[in-house]
């Protein structure tokens, strides 16, 4: 079971707090434009981090597959050489 969904929601809430608290202190809690900008910035940061994580996972899987394929090819060629002797 994948637990990344609830974790992502928790991280997103934390990131929003990090952006909203300074914004509220600077512009006041009732300033809606600063609140909207801070929330948008928090979501953009979360989106960028999520995309980076997804990209890195995909890249690792591709590298593992290519490495395992090259190892199998090397093993086959060594076996063929040994059999031809």
Higher per-residue confidence, 51 vs 79: 51
Q: What does the pLDDT average to over 8-21? A: 82
Q: Mean pLDDT: which of 6-20, 41-55, 66-80 is highest?
A: 41-55
Instruction: Place 59 in a pLDDT band, splitting at 50, 70 and 90.
Output: confident
Q: 8: which residues sit within 8 A by CB, 6+ positions away?
A: 46, 50
The mean of the pLDDT values for the chain is 80
Tokens of 17: 């707090």
Q: Measure the CA–CA gap between 46 and 13, rounded to whole angstroms.
A: 10
**pTM of the predicted model, to two decimals?**
0.58
Give residue 67's Cα distance to chain centre.
22
84 alpha-carbon distance from chain centroid? 48
Report domain extents, the chain. 4-84
Nearest alpha-carbon partner for 76 in 84, 10, 50: 84
pLDDT at 51 over 60: yes
């Amino acid at each position: 079971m994948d637990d990344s969904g609830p974790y992502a929601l928790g991280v997103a809430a934390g990131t929003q707090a990090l952006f909203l608290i300074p914004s509220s202190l600077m512009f006041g809690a009732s300033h809606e434009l600063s609140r909207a900008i801070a929330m948008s910035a928090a979501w953009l940061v979360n989106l960028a981090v999520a995309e980076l994580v997804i990209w890195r996972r995909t890249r690792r899987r591709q590298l593992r597959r290519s490495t395992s394929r090259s190892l199998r090819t090397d093993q086959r060629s060594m076996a063929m050489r040994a059999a031809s002797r």
